Amino acid sequence: MNVEILAVGTELLLGNTVNTDAADLSDRLAALGLNVFWHTVVGDNPGRLSDAVSIARARADIIITTGGLGPTYDDLTKNVLADCFGKKLVFHEEEADFLRRFYERRGRPMTENVLQQAWLPEGCQVFHNDWGTAPGCAFEAEGVHVVMLPGPPYECLPMFDHCAVPYLRLLSGETLVSRQIHVFGLGESDIEARFREEMEHMANPSLATYAKEGEVMLRVTAKAPTEAEAAALCEPVVEKVRKALGSYVYSVDIDSLEALVLKLLKEKQLTFAAAESLTGGLIGARFTALSGASAVFRGGAVTYCDEVKAGMLGIDAGLIAEKHAVSREVAAAMAQGVRKAAGADLGVSATGIAGPDTDESGQPVGTVFVGLAAADGVWVRHLTLGSRGRDRIRTISASNAFDMLRRYLTDLPVTEE
Amino acid sequence: MNVEILAVGTELLLGNTVNTDAADLSDRLAALGLNVFWHTVVGDNPGRLSDAVSIARARADIIITTGGLGPTYDDLTKNVLADCFGKKLVFHEEEADFLRRFYERRGRPMTENVLQQAWLPEGCQVFHNDWGTAPGCAFEAEGVHVVMLPGPPYECLPMFDHCAVPYLRLLSGETLVSRQIHVFGLGESDIEARFREEMEHMANPSLATYAKEGEVMLRVTAKAPTEAEAAALCEPVVEKVRKALGSYVYSVDIDSLEALVLKLLKEKQLTFAAAESLTGGLIGARFTALSGASAVFRGGAVTYCDEVKAGMLGIDAGLIAEKHAVSREVAAAMAQGVRKAAGADLGVSATGIAGPDTDESGQPVGTVFVGLAAADGVWVRHLTLGSRGRDRIRTISASNAFDMLRRYLTDLPVTEE
């Protein structure tokens, strides 16, 4: 069965909001064996929304809308969809009650527009919103299934998982299994050139490459009547790719370097700390976005000026003056310093020039040193990332710190030098 | 003139990649006075891409494609678009030379597929790619303008700015001016209820509200023959909103709390430092994403365990034992401690329970204390953010730290208590 995700919201067309819902729902729909073939975004405009629904119903079996269910005057999704499929909106007293209680509990007066959310298409299955206020719903009409979800991701995604998944599971016949092979340190063209010929001829399973933020992901996808059969189809391809790419493959199905590092540190009961200059807290922020991080992450220092490097990490000010803050020696001293200061088993560090301008050392933008210190040694990677933009330079630097950790923790050489 | 952004890439439909290009291009197109009415995503499938082009050319004056220009076998955008508009692909020797030199300079062998990128639709304006390899292009056919850009954002956006903008400027007759009013500390429904009636009746300028990550943005948009006229139409609405919402408005046209804080700190020549527990580096990471951050940000400590709070910030271990790490007192001590340890004028702190589970104190998930220390006092906000998910709790906590800084720096009360 084919799916179209139809997002409704002028804020998306003005670029104020990124359509993350479409990506997050697509990922979940693939796991259900449902093919997402189209994403569409239209504004809060009844005419254009109605046209988009006409196009969608002609090509998709399932239309999932996001957005436009709220209390404001431009929340039109229910009205337009009900109209397109010849359904009336019906007032749901129990949803209205929930809304009244919601405001009462918060001690806030309920404006009249709030109750607009309790009107839903006749005969629909109501998706009660435990994460916000606007309910969603699902109905079938003229051979098309319509699922309506709120726009904010923290409402849309849990409602999908808890309410829409049970509804959709009944519709999907085949099972699709995807395995994701994550690679750090090789470029997409290099990888694709190795597998190109096979990729062109493979249908089930299929193999595709995706580049993102300095990494490459290969996805092996197979379809079969059962999950076990689909998984068995994937296996030989996964093994072949693993063998071909060796230690550049950092994981299968663990979707980030930091998630792998968290798993490895927990297994080995080791801790780490970070000393961050150019990344400014990004290593810590990425790692602590994972729940369970506190078991292995001690914290660290954000050393955005030389005095803090000296003060918090005990780095010799003379060393900084002599070698410069962006240097192999200072990266090593930062990793060793934070390891000691935070009482961690391992210390990582990142210092460099994120741009747009170089600093007084005159080294080019994109010059970065990433360090790792352990009881048995200290390693530093020297990266030359060029003018790829501040965000990318910082992201790739943080990823290198995690890559050094995972290599150390799996007994691989930490640096290539 | 109306625009459709047509993204091509199966990775978008599988949810591996978020379509940030569509948002970033939309934002830029609005500034050019071009209305984006549709975003569409299709996979790397010639039939469905061709269908999508048929739909787009019937409703849009300008089609902007992203993705599918690269060297791999599923990069089909140029072939399909050329075909749809009855154009041949022509080999561009100067682009081929550039590709050969690109690989030569890097000392990497060039695989044959790379040269696929040098084939472009006949008669097009070539957009040379200074940020990657695949060139983009633009052409007009049968009354529709087609602009093709690469998919990776670090290629797509600079190519848009440098190559597509000059092309598009010639097409747009009217100028559109948007003013963005940024609000922190009020909910979207509250704000909308105040302005609902006017919003329904306003056309030029228009007023709309957008909620994101604990903030609300109101956008005032006006169209006129000249920029000055459009700006003059916006002005009275901006003033009215500012007056109605008072100090909850943190800026007009400065698009984040941290960007405003950077500006204010520079003006006052003050510095700050951060002590982060539950945010784990996020305050620092957000702030140092801004270029120029190093002038006012000293760094700080990521105190993800009690020993680091004591060791790096000199917080009395007895205080932590008595009051608990997630407490008003510890937040205050962290802010004061980091201010001193980093030698900054101001110190901020965040400690709390991001979940999914509570800690040994038994306080509910979402309990957060955010602190600010200055020479003339120390303030703490106590937030109860409920179970909104780890990411949101951390983001809103970091935003509160920036909000306290901006209030302090503009002589407003730092806390409501």
Which tens digits make up the pLDDT trace of B218-266?
Answer: 989 888 888 899 999 999 999 999 999 999 999 999 989 999 999 999 9
Encoding tokens for residue A185?
């340190």
CB B365 within 8 A of CB B354: yes
Say yes or no for a CB contact (<8 Å) between B72 and A36. no
Is B16's pLDDT higher than 90? Answer: no
Q: Return the minimum-mean-pLDDT range out of B22-36, B60-74, B86-100, B118-132.
A: B22-36
Say yes or no for a CB contact (<8 Å) between A196 and B73. yes
Strand A215-224 with A206-212, pairing: antiparallel
A389 interface with B at CB cutoff 8 Å: yes
Encoding tokens for residue B290?
């801004």
Give CA angle at A50 (A47, A55), nearest 5°: 125
Encoding tokens for residue A226?
């059962």
* Chain B residues close to A52, C-beta within 8 Å: 38
Encoding tokens for residue A336?
């060793």
* Chain B residues close to A74, C-beta within 8 Å: 208
Measuring CA to CA, how many Å separate B258 from each of A289, B112, B391? 20, 47, 18
Is B139's pLDDT higher than 90? Answer: yes
DSSP string, A177-196: EEEEEEEESS-HHHHHHHHH
Q: What is the DSSP letter of A162?
A: I
- At A224-277, the pLDDT tens digits run 888 899 999 999 999 999 999 999 999 999 989 999 999 999 999 999 999 999
Mean pLDDT of chain A: 92
pLDDT (average), residues B24-48: 92
Q: What is the three-class DSSP state of A265?
A: helix
Please, what sign has the CA dihedral across residues B60, B61, B66, B68? Answer: positive
- A93–chain B nearest CA distance, Å: 21
B14 interface with A at CB cutoff 8 Å: yes
- A20–chain B nearest CA distance, Å: 6
pLDDT (average), residues A199-223: 84
Encoding tokens for residue A253?
């199905």
Contacts with B292 (C-beta within 8 Å, 6 or more apart), sequence order: B262, B266
**Percent of residues, chain B, with pLDDT higher than 70:** 99
Angle between helices B46-59 and A46-59 (to 10 degrees): 160
pLDDT at A417: 54
Q: What is the three-class DSSP state of A200?
A: helix
Helix (H) or strand (E) holding A4: strand A2-8
State which residue of chain B sits closest to A301, comparing Cα positions.
B301
pLDDT at A372: 98
Nearest to A13 among B15, B36, B388 (CB): B36
Rounded to whole angstroms, the Cα distance separating A298 from A279 reads: 17
Where are any strands of DSSP class E within A31-152? 35-42, 62-66, 89-91, 119-121, 125-127, 136-141, 144-149
pLDDT (average), residues B34-47: 95
> Residue holding tokens 């994981």?
A251
Rounded to whole angstroms, the Cα distance separating A404 from B385 reads: 36
Chosen for mutation from A14, A28, A59, A307 (greatest number of chain B CBs closer than 10 Å) is A14
Identify the band that residue B417 occupies on the pLDDT scale cut at 50, 70 and 90: low
Encoding tokens for residue B191?
């704000």
* Chain B residues close to A75, C-beta within 8 Å: none
Identify the band that residue A34 occupies on the pLDDT scale cut at 50, 70 and 90: confident
Is A33's pLDDT higher than 80? Answer: no
- At B254-300, the pLDDT tens digits run 989 999 999 999 999 999 999 999 999 999 999 999 999 999 999 99
CB B213 within 8 A of CB B255: no
pLDDT at A359: 83
Q: What is the DSSP letter of A107?
A: T
Helix/strand/coil percent split, chain A, to 5? 45, 25, 30
Q: Before A150, cis peptide (omega within 30)?
A: no
- At B289-338, the pLDDT tens digits run 999 999 999 999 999 999 999 999 999 999 999 999 999 999 999 999 99
Give CA angle at B255 (B188, B241), nearest 5°: 45
Q: What is the DSSP letter of A269?
A: T
- At A58-98, the pLDDT tens digits run 999 999 999 999 988 889 999 999 999 999 999 999 999 99
Q: What one-letter code names the amino acid at B333?
A: A
Give CA angle at A140 (A138, A142), nearest 5°: 150
Helix/strand/coil percent split, chain B, to 5? 45, 25, 30
- At B344-369, the pLDDT tens digits run 999 999 999 998 888 888 899 999 99
> Which value does ipTM take for this structure?
0.78
> Residue holding tokens 């990823």?
A399
- Bridge partners of A148, per DSSP, are A65, A137
* Chain B residues close to A39, C-beta within 8 Å: 7, 12-13, 19, 39-41
Say yes or no for a CB contact (<8 Å) between A299 and B303. yes
Where are any strands of DSSP class E within B239-396? 249-252, 272-276, 297-303, 346-352, 367-374, 377-384
CB B346 within 8 A of CB B298: no
CB A46 within 8 A of CB A80: yes
B274 interface with A at CB cutoff 8 Å: yes
- A351–chain B nearest CA distance, Å: 13
Contacts with B297 (C-beta within 8 Å, 6 or more apart), sequence order: A280, A304, B271, B272, B273, B284, B287, B288
Encoding tokens for residue A279?
């990344």
Please, what sign has the CA dihedral across residues A22, A27, A31, A37? Answer: positive
Rounded to whole angstroms, the Cα distance separating A179 from A194 reads: 19
CB B136 within 8 A of CB B125: no
* Chain A residues close to B10, C-beta within 8 Å: 208
Measuring CA to CA, how many Å separate A207 from each of A185, B17, B69, B75? 20, 16, 19, 15
Identify the band that residue A416 occupies on the pLDDT scale cut at 50, 70 and 90: confident
Encoding tokens for residue A205?
């399973």
CB B390 within 8 A of CB B368: no
> Residue holding tokens 């009360």?
B413
CB B227 within 8 A of CB B175: yes
pLDDT at A206: 86
Q: What is the three-class DSSP state of A113?
A: helix
- At B101-131, the pLDDT tens digits run 988 887 778 888 899 999 999 999 999 999 8
Encoding tokens for residue B354?
């991001």
pLDDT at B129: 94
Kindly report the number of other CB atoms within 10 A of residue B363's CB atom: 16
Rounded to whole angstroms, the Cα distance separating A67 from B204 reads: 25
Rounded to whole angstroms, the Cα distance separating B230 from B295 reads: 36
B202 interface with A at CB cutoff 8 Å: no
Say yes or no for a CB contact (<8 Å) between A23 and B28. no
Q: What is the three-class DSSP state of B13?
A: helix
Nearest to B39 among A12, A285, A394 (CB): A12
B302 interface with A at CB cutoff 8 Å: yes
Rounded to whole angstroms, the Cα distance separating A161 from A290 reads: 20
Rounded to whole angstroms, the Cα distance separating A249 from A181 reads: 7
Query: Residues B238, B239, B245, B247: what is their CA dihedral angle, to the nearest 10 degrees?
Result: 110
